[in-house]
Each structure stands twice: as structure tokens, then as C-alpha cells.
Amino acid sequence: MILLRITMTTLVLLLPYNSFAHHVLGRPSYSLNESSNTPPSMQVETRIGKYYVTYMVFPAFPKPKQQGRINLYIKKIKDGVPFKGEVVFTVLDDSWFSSNKEVLGAQYSNDAIFRQGFIFQRPGYYLVRAEFISDKEPYIVDFPLRIGNPWPLGPIGLMVGIIVIMLLVINLKVRYKLQRLQAVRHREEKNN
């Protein structure tokens, strides 16, 4: 009996317990929003001219009609000094057939970070442009941004689909004509 109790106690203590995560970065997940320190959906680092540029988008998965934020860090390559001027943020549709351009805003550095809020009404692929001037030289950095779940078929896929459908229709029409010609020939041969 004692051996059974020891065995049961050991099994109960060694069994793994379920743990359900409700904290992200040590904070309760129910209080997270676009102002939280959630991981960004994308972090891009690039070098342009005399500067390193780092770009982050919050929240992790931006959705239509929800507020989001872009954080832009600009530092000189030579000495790491942050850029102090103005950055203008614009957005373009990342599409072949659209030239829509909208200014999101112009921001100055706050603790070496340029913060720009955004709200997109429709899902899609967008191109965010950050423009600034340093030493009378213009700098333009473009970053892709995906909002929501856009239609997966882009312009190239649409064109390929149309071409495939056209080829199928042409193929079916040619086959139908050939079958009719063969039927006519077969009848003529029977009659002769």
C-alpha cells in the first residue's frame, strides 16, 4: 500500500501541467494595442547615402480600419548621430494600375524616433515612402506595407489566368470544328 502511494505521488508530481500564455513580453495580452511594445510586423534596415535607416510597423499584423504606427530611426553611419530634421511620410498603392499618392504626415524626431500613425480603409499592398533632406540632398526610402489579407491574385496572376482561359476556349472551339468536319466527311464517305 505504501509503495502504491509513493508511486501515485511520484506520477502526479512528474506529470506536466498545461500552461496557457496570456502574457507577451511580460505584460497581459488583453492590454496590448498599437501603442504597446508588441513585436513589429516587419523590421527593415537599410543604408542610404550617409545614413542607416531602420523601419518598424506596429501592430504585428495591421488590419483595415485599425490604427497602426510606423517607427523610423535615422542615424549617420559615420558617428551614429540621429537625424534631427523633418521626415515626410507618403503612401502609394503598390500596384501597376494606380498612381494614388497620399501624404500621411510630416514628423520631427522624438527621442531619435520618427513616429507616424496610420489607418487604412481597405486591405492591400501599399508602399510607404519616407522623404527627408540632409545637407541640401534629398533622401527617399520606400518600404512595402501589407494591410489585412488582400486579394492574393495580383496583376500578373490575373493576366496569366485570362490567357489560360482564352487558350482553353480557343482549344475547345477548334476541337468542336474538327469533330464537325470529321462527322461531315464520315457521312459523305458513307453516302458514296
What tens digit of pLDDT does each residue of 75-118 get? 999 999 999 999 999 998 766 666 778 899 999 999 889 999 99
**What pLDDT was estimated at residue 41?**
61
Give the H/E segment covering residue 79.
Answer: none
Regions of the chain where pLDDT drops below 70: 1, 3-4, 7-8, 10-42, 94-98, 154
**What pLDDT was estimated at residue 165?**
93
Say which CATH topology domain 30-147 has.
Answer: Immunoglobulin-like (2.60.40)
Residue 87 near residue 114, CB atoms below 8 Å: yes
Angle (CA) 133-119-33 rounded to 5° is: 105
Stated pTM of the model: 0.62
CA 176/CA 6 separation, integer angstroms: 82
Q: What is the dihedral of CA 13, 14, 18, 20, to 10 degrees?
A: 80
Residue extents of the structural domains in the chain: 30-147, 153-192
Q: Which CA distances in Å does 130 have to 79, 120, 143?
A: 22, 17, 8
Residue 101 near residue 90, CB atoms below 8 Å: yes
Q: Mean pLDDT for the chain?
A: 82
Q: Where are the beta strands (DSSP E) in 49-113?
A: 51-58, 68-76, 86-93, 101-108
